[in-house]
Structure 1
Amino acid sequence: MNLKNNKKGVLRGSFTIQSKILAVCLSLALGITMVSLILSYYTEINSYRKIAESYLTQYIRFADQNFDNMIGEARKISLSIAVSNDMIYPILNNELTSEVSYDRFLQKKRITNFLSGLMTQKEYIADIMIVTRNGSVYQASQDLIVRKDLQEEDIQIALRSERAGIIYDRKKNSVIYCWPIYYKNEIKATGMINLKYDFLVDAYNMEPLRTSTVIITIPEDTVFYSNRGDEKETAHILQMIGKKEKDTGYIKINGEKQYYIRNKSGTGFMSISVLIPYRVLSKDAEKLKLKFIIIGFCAAAAAVICSVFLSRKLCRNLKQLSNNMEEIRQGNMEVRVSVQTRDEIGILADTFNRMMDQIAKLMIEIKEKEIVKKEAEQKFLDAQIEPHFLYNSINSIQYVAHMRGEEEIERVAIALSELFRSVLSNKREFITLWEEKEYIDNYILIERFKYTRDFSLIWDVEEELWAYQIPKLLLQPIVENALIHGIADKEEGVINIKVYRDENAVVVKILDNGKGIARNRLQELQEGIYKNKKSRFRRVGISNVFERIKLLFGEEYGGNIYSYQNTFTCIELTLPLYVEQYL
């Protein structure tokens, strides 16, 4: 239960690999989708705007062309009248006399019909007139022109004009195209074409420009047409546009972004300035935005679905590996991962299975070593046959020897009693090298009583190593073996115990100058077969000492035997320099 809760706590505090892959996939997919949509959106918006700009520019040019065509037609009519000498000159001659006759009536009628013919199918022309210096009026329409009408300001300006041009009366919205008519190098009459103002500006009032500001100016910056009622605002707009170098572009008027178009008519008679609000150019943006939002939503949904599918597929084997590891974490060491893919997860699963097989093998080895260790410890404990009874018996022997004056027996009994006391009272598994020396010295004192030949025990130890911790009674079996099988039958036998540091290890050598070991016997000992059973100390053989070291410190530590028959035997032990971590 604790393991499950712990796992849940770990998952709450961190993201799983699947969630990370999902997050990365979503981020990339959504990021690319959003960037693409935004770029496409603004590209489309710019495209729509440019199309609108182009369309409106073309329409304005069309309207200008239409205006120019009407003015051009008026000029053509004036030229037609000017070159019709047979029609015009007679009335100019008649102007020299005031005689009223039937011929003059017919002549006037012929002129009227001629002018009417020129005006046919020209809806933008209200009237065509010829006014002589004597005040005679010849006109195409049926509207009667009286002398009072000739006093109008625009008519008077036209009559005084010495060149062809357009007269515009802003108050009446009257547009007159006039030209002088010469006879014998003198101005004898004035031709006038009265243009319909509404027809001239009608093209600028149609749908494409109804939401725009249109201002038409004629020479001397006179405002010919403006759909803005405020004259000051109109003047301000003309001033702002006039500062621009380009004929098209963007400008801010009263804080609103607008697209301006400035165009001069082909005839040079007028200039047009148009302001189109940016929102008008971008009116399709909202529809386009909605379309892109729907596309973005669908793309995002597809990205989420694909990301979830891919992340699950990618992490399926990894999740299985994680679940199998959790089972092992809960104690099921028999679990193995069954992933057949040849990718990194498959390699990881195969490595994991190999590792678990190795762990299982190591666990078996550890169990076997534990059994061996327990057997060795049991044998050591079995060797202590009623130790307290023996200890008390030895004390009794010591007391009797003392009472009878047997000093040598008393010394041996004291040494043996001290050895038993030390072993029984010291429950620690590790003791100092100095304490081990005391055990061995007591043992040697006891053995000297048994042997008739004298022998020596020499300690060669680096001073700081006397406090070095070693397993209790580690050296005693080796010293016992050297004494019994090495120097027991030798005169002046020597056992030399040397302890020194060698890099990160402590080396202990027990060397004797005894009879040595035959080669085949040495091989048996090196294989761990040889075991001595002569005493309770000898029951723990040399091979057991080596095995004990490996069990305590690991396979890199242990011992070795070197010997040459009839010359020497050396038992070498290798121990870790720092044993605190094993205590």
Structure 2
Amino acid sequence: MTRLRPPDWLKRGLRPLRTIHGTISAAFSILILAAIGITSLNSYKLSEEAVLSNSQAYLGEVIQQVGQNIQSYIDNMENISLLIFTNKDVKYYLSDNPFLSREEIRTYEKSISDLFQSLLYTRKDIASIMVFGYNGRNVSDRRLTTLNPYVQLREQDWYVKAARAGGRSVISAPHVQNVVSGDYEWVVSLSRELKNSNGMTGQGIALVDLKLNVINDICRSVKLGSRGYVFIVDSAGNIVYHPQQQLLYSKLREEPIERILSAGQSSFLVDDGAGERLYSVQDSNFGWKIVGVAYRSELIAEPDAMRNSFLLWAAAALAGTLLISLLLSHRITRPIRRLQAAMRQVERGNFEVRAEVEQQSEIGQLERTFNMMVGQTQRLMDERIQTEETKRRTELRLLQSQINPHFLYNTLDSIIWMAEQRKNEEVVRMTSALAKLFRASIAKDDELVPIRIEQEHIASYLQIQKMRYRDMLDYEIDIPRELHLYKSPRILLQPFVENAIYHGIKNMPEGGVVQIAAEVDGDSIRFTVRDNGKGMDEETVQAVLNASARDNDGRDHIGVSNVNERIVLTFGAGYGVSIESEPGEGTCVAVTIPKVR
């Protein structure tokens, strides 16, 4: 069977694509064609989204301003109600004082009515101000006011809600105010229960009515295109204002009230067949939601958006072409640069780094060889670190298990003696301290413990020694509470305290003091163990640090050098133990560790 072969002219045409130059040229061609296609398909959509986004922002700002304007009127009503709330004449007029004469009542009514009239004189937006007392007395901004006999005052919504609000102001939905005969005006009411002087007992209800046409004028003044509008709903979904309120009542028009109530402060699109509309919802401090509505067809100018979007995508296509050129060049040299960067990391001591092998070329083979070499080096180093870690843990466990038999014998002997002397309280304290000391010594789960635990451990040790040596030994521990959450090696300070007692203070007739302190030093914590004992010369200091010194009882200083080795192995050579001492001047041991949580 004859095998089909591509013609020579096709081979010659495809041959350049095998070169880097051919690859880049092909990539450029594909990129430009793709960019033009994407630009043509998406320019209109993107420009439309940009216009809608800007329109949402603008609509939100307009609605926010409407809310602020209405808020200013509500604040004025609030201030009037507070003035009534704190007025002494109003409180006295509404009190149950049986000694007020009719003449005095009329005097109070005139004073209060004059106050209301003066407030209304400068506020044309306020329809009326009234006070209704629980004692049956009523007063308004008009001297001669007749309550509507057909209206049950105490059943009015604004009255009931104010009586339940405990002195807080309540804003009503729009309604016709029919409390006063012959005065039927559309208003929004602010009502508040008035309290007596001690603020405990209600005396009546203050009512401030805002003319509804004030809110209507604010909303009508906003222009959102030729068909856009603003309307207001309260928290219960009642329409406070709508420019087409009659159509809503007659069910010829509907608004997405449930979606508005659940929207919070946001925008959304609605298309119900009457044209796609953008709704922007803003919450207010007085419980209403201000809603702005703009028609999508009025927001988007299609030709301009198409032109702008096309220019934008053309520029993006050009920029993308240049970017691809840079990326391809970068791709060619990236493996070499990546391998070079990995080598530099190894030079700095980072043996965790690995070269990323992406190719089957010679460079890829070199990267694999490099990774094998670094991995082998890391394994050798890890094995050595593991060996040192095992050795260090073994020494730590050995140290923890070495409870000084002299110390234990003397402590138990002291407990027996105190028990024979019937010093039960001291027996309890020493036994408790010894138990805490044993518990800290045998706990081997964590090498690092909170400094608070280390402080409790050394305090237990010193408490035992203090009870043994009594007036021969005093001690002070000053470790700030803010250091308690940091961590330190377990049994860090006991060897130095033990050294201070047995080698510095024990054989002094007048005894001595051991002072333990801690402070922050930059990124480190510095502990100091200071005593006023007999001190040491430089040769003895070096012997203590090198674990070659022994006292007259055969005790050595291996604990001191062990602590120093543990610190260096755990945290590095920058940390450890230093000792300053002079014969006859006492000793100061400084232990430095890093801040570790």
TM (norm. structure 1) is: 0.38
TM (norm. structure 2) is: 0.37
